[in-house]
Amino acid sequence: MRLFAALVPPDEVLDELELAIAPHVGQVPGLRWPARDTWHITLGFFGEVAERTLPELETRLARAVHRHQALDLAFAGFGAFSSPRRARVLWVGVTGDPMTRLADSVRAGARRAGAAQTDGKPLRPHLTLARAKVETDLRPLVESLSGFSGSPWRAERVRLVRSRTGPQVRYESLAEWALAPAGRG
């Protein structure tokens, strides 16, 4: 199973984001815009995980998530990997409470459970909006979206998601855990 842990923003926040990008969808040749129901903020990508590892992974992720408070976040700033001039991925940035400690805990829990991690990159909070198979100059698109600033929202849950690849990527939520209420302690 191909698995990752993620935050999924609330519908009303995704509505704002969808409205902001709507005039641009389909306007850049070669840029594919995944379905909105696949939008998420990845905390940890675990790659292929054996089914026998799943119970231990769920236990360790639950423990990791419960140690952290809910996060106050917002979407702001668009960018591209590797750069807007030579892009393969268009993204919107995430501002607000730092999520590095949460991501580190989630990733450590997965490692302890024996879930191989093929992604050792440091966390760069973002939500992927579009992808290109070849490097594409997205500077005009990034610039035209630069004025967008989304409403604040609270991330209160972390999901364990199974990714099914193929002509159309599909995601299946396997488990979900609540973060501790914000402001505790």
**68 contact partners, CB below 8 Å, separation of at least 6:** 101, 102, 105, 179, 180
- Please indicate whether residue 122 or residue 164 has the higher confidence score (pLDDT): 164
DSSP 35: -
Q: Which residue among 24, 66, 68, 126 is the active-site one?
A: 126
Is 40 designated active site?
Answer: yes
Report the helix count and the strand count for the chain, using DSSP H and E: 4, 9
The β-bridge relationship of strands 153-155 and 157-164 is unpaired
Q: Which residue among 24, 40, 66, 68 is the active-site one?
A: 40
Checking if the pLDDT of 118 tops 70, the result is no
User: What is d(CA 92, CA 80) in angstroms, rounded to the nearest whole number?
Assistant: 8
Percent residues over pLDDT 90 in the chain: 85
pLDDT tens digits, residue range 79-114?
999 999 999 999 999 999 999 999 999 999 999 999
- The alpha-helical segments, DSSP class H, found in the chain are 11-21, 54-66, 100-113, 139-144
pLDDT tens digits, residue range 34-46?
999 999 999 999 9
Checking if the pLDDT of 185 tops 60, the result is no
Give me the chain's average pLDDT, please: 93
> pLDDT band at residue 119, thresholds of 50, 70 and 90?
low
Say which CATH superfamily domain 2-178 falls into. Cyclic phosphodiesterase (3.90.1140.10)
Task: State how far the alpha carbon of 77 is from the alpha carbons of 6, 10, 74, 128, in Å.
Answer: 20, 19, 10, 12
